[in-house]
Chain A
Amino acid sequence: MEQSGKHLTEVLAPYKDERGAIIPLLQKVQETFGYLSEEAISQIAKFFKVSESEVFGVATFYAQFRFTRPAEHCVKVCLGTACHVRGGQQILEAVRRDLGLESGSTTTDYKFGVERVACFGSCALAPVMVVDDRVYGRLTPTKIKETLDKYR
């Protein structure tokens, strides 16, 4: 994290005088580095002159923040209400089966990570899943393999 440490100060700088900037800054840091490392948290705490536990307290409250290295492709399966009643759970199970994930949420090669999300706002096309930034609607368990194959 040596060179990214230098990087981090650059990311921090524009937030100097902004009130309530902790969350946008955490978002920015995660966007830049992929996740919130311990080092990043500690620098952010110093930057805002608050304790690390306070920064952690805020970060862990929100579902968006990650504290471990993300996988190359992020598969988010929607388990919102519309997706639930149209079989979202079966989609999630099919994804996990296809990726061979018995437990945990990331494949051992860090190629795929699986998350469940409550609604992307594409409910009319339920069930829905998002791979990286691309939304796939009207899914069936049998379409999962061919969809994920595009990313292998």
Chain B
Amino acid sequence: MTFDKLRKEAIAEWEALEHSQKPRILIGTATCGLASGADAVLEAIKLELSRRSIEAIITQVGCIGLCYAEPMVDIIKPNRPRICYGNVTPEIITRLVEDYLVKGDPCADLALGTIGDGHIDGIPSFFDLPVLKPQVRIVLRHCGFIDPENINHYIANGGYSGFVKALTMKPEDIIAEITKSGLRGRGGAGFPTGTKWTFCRRSPGDQKYIICNADEGDPGAFMNRALLEGDPHSVLEGMLIGGYAIGASEGYIYCRAEYPLALKRLRIAMKQMEERGLLGDNILDSGFNFHLKIKEGAGAFVCGEETALMASIEGKRGMPRTRPPFPAVAGLWGKPTNINNVESWADAAAIMQRGAGWFASFGTETSKGTKTFSLVGKVERTGLIEVPLGITLSDIVYNIGGGILKGKAFKAVQTGGPSGGCLGADFLQTPVDYETLTKAGSIMGSGGMIVLDEETCVVDLARYFLTFVQAESCGKCVLCREGTMQMLEILTDITEGKGKPGDIDLLLELAESVKLGSLCALGGTAPNPVLTTIKYFRQECEAHINDKRCPAKVCKSLVSFYIIPDKCQGCRICLRSCPTNAIAGDKRMIHVIDQSKCIKCGSCLDVCPARFGAVAKVSGEQLATPKEPVPVDSWGKA
């Protein structure tokens, strides 16, 4: 079949959908949507519609990015703009069907915004919402809009036209276009994609491979998962373009097994490509052969490193090796190989569809285009975002993220995961681009952005990252294996109140050695979280070491829980929730905590009614309390 025919069919199907006289309901059922209960909502929709014999078209879509508002359901009535509803429950579904579908009241109080032409009183326009206004959607343009399991939805919206255009071009010209776009690798290091493709293209060899790195092992990051679940074809199209430009006839997608839905959607997408002659031999009668295989990761962070990943595909332990030879010369099975991140591939497809100049019009001089980030942690509006590079951290945290959770104070943003670092308030106004973040001692990384508030301990977080890299080190280099272990022990001591003067200097010294003595970037960057913590939060480290105090009140060994005698009403709620019977007291008696029994689980603090607020968490101080429970109001009156 020719592509024109494919596209005509796809457009016809899409337009029939758009012009349908039946109401349409879209529901986000990516992993994050399901985790917040989208499946129960979907059931409720089906039940409610059949109960009332309403015919409607239900489409399951990927994540639009507003994870904080999930489950999200959108309703499109004929000739009306699409309305998005957030935090939907089965009860809300009953109301929406009754009030909007049956009676025509759009329930403005439940709506987040409208999409498309037309206005509805009391409902803002979706893309004018503060969370979306600063965003530019290139990679995520289809997420939340198309059915990821329907290739026609992708094709009708411009999909595969970039590849078809590439087929008419000389491979060198395709690579020149990618180079001109300024695209840099979205998997972490930010290496120029066009340059990388050129190396592999020029590398001699009859058999070449391309690989999509979908391992996404960086904890706290889920951009790749969301993209693969919401729009798998955009990644696959990028791979087709890359395969053709580089001269590869085979490709691998290395995707972590923790992402079952992404794997499922990839398999469906590839099958649909094969059925339409977009994958396999002689694609679209062009003479280009390209075959793709999926390899499931088996749970090793280091396998995201490119040489380790290739070893893993070959069936070995995923251990990095020295370079050269670079993968472009001798990669998978010793053949020239080009490996790119999921988002880089999707960007490549967008660039071929819309042109290098268009892509390069976003971003900064040296960091072109947009980048997806997972905005998580102590921020009000957690989710998946896509912004032009060069945007300030403050824009991301405050305008998009809606500020710090529960009105607490901002402390830092952690970027770049285990390879990155914590940037404090001094960096809020700096632009987010490759160079600036690197200069600050952190990195862009793959796009995890974890917001920290005053109640996050950065020393504890640095210890957390060392625990992670220590467990994930492949063990090949002594300094990565043993050096991170030593660093972890020192940091653990510090967080447990066993820190000694001189520990900080020792950490700095070890950090230098681990950086120098590590073969791959796992060890090479592992000290970064520690280094930025010491650099920007030294006082907090010293408080742990010198005063045995955790200012954020996180480090368990350094905090205690007390019941404030003047506030306690003797309601017994905390006593009942205490797992270790550490609390004593009776009705109308001031309760007391036996510090020797308390395991610091914090549940007394959680359950003590806010109007009493009688439980205090302290660090480095002791509160005066009665030894035994005494009647309420008697404390201090004797």
Residues of A whose CB lies within 8 Å of any CB of B are 19-24, 26-27, 57-58, 61-65, 79-86, 90, 93-94, 97, 117-126, 128, 133, 135-138, 140-142
Contact = CB atoms under 8 A, between A and B. Distances in A.
A57 B474 CA distance: 12
Contacts, number: 152
B299 A135 contact: no
B317 interface: yes
A122 B222 CA distance: 7
Interface stretch (B49-57, B158-166, B370-378): B370-378
B221 A123 contact: yes
Contacts of B295: 23-24
Q: By DSSP majority rule, is chain B's interface helix, strand, loop, or mixed?
A: mixed
Given A27-B296, A84-B464, A118 B219 contact: yes
Nearest to A81: B220
Given A97-B579, A123-B376, A142-B603, A61 B317 contact: yes
Given A82-B219, A124-B222, A140-B606, A22 B315 contact: yes
A65 to B, nearest CB: 7
Nearest to B378: A85
B183 interface: no
22 contacts: A20-B314, A20-B316, A24-B295, A57-B317, A79-B219, A80-B219, A81-B377, A81-B461, A82-B219, A82-B220, A85-B461, A90-B601, A97-B601, A118-B468, A119-B217, A123-B220, A123-B374, A124-B222, A125-B36, A126-B376, A141-B606, A142-B607
Interface string B219-241: 11110011000000000000000
Contacts of A82: 219-220, 374, 376-377, 382, 448, 450
A63 B298 contact: yes
B277 interface: no
A57 B316 CA distance: 9
Nearest to B467: A79
A83 B220 CA distance: 8
Contact of A65 (B31, B259, B298, B301): B298
Interface residues of B, number: 61
A66 B496 CA distance: 32
B222 A123 contact: yes
A119 B220 contact: yes
A23 B312 contact: yes
A43 B211 CA distance: 31
A64 B259 CA distance: 13
Contact of B313 (A20, A57, A122, A123): A20
Given A121-B216, A122-B32, A140-B606, A93 B259 contact: no
A80 B468 CA distance: 9
Contacts of A24: 295-296
A64 B257 contact: yes
Contacts of A122: 31-32, 35, 222
Given A82-B220, A138-B36, 15 more contacts: A19-B315, A61-B300, A61-B318, A62-B300, A81-B376, A84-B461, A86-B377, A94-B601, A97-B579, A121-B221, A121-B258, A123-B219, A123-B220, A125-B36, A135-B35
Closest 10 CB pairs of A and B: A124-B67, A80-B219, A63-B299, A81-B220, A62-B298, A121-B222, A20-B315, A135-B35, A121-B225, A124-B382
**Which among B31, B312, B384, B577 has the highest number of chain A CB atoms within 10 Å?**
B31
Contacts of A118: 217, 219, 301, 468
B383 interface: yes
A64 B378 contact: no
B470 interface: no
A81 B606 contact: no
Contacts of B300: 61-63
Nearest to A123: B376
A19 B35 contact: no
A81 B464 contact: yes
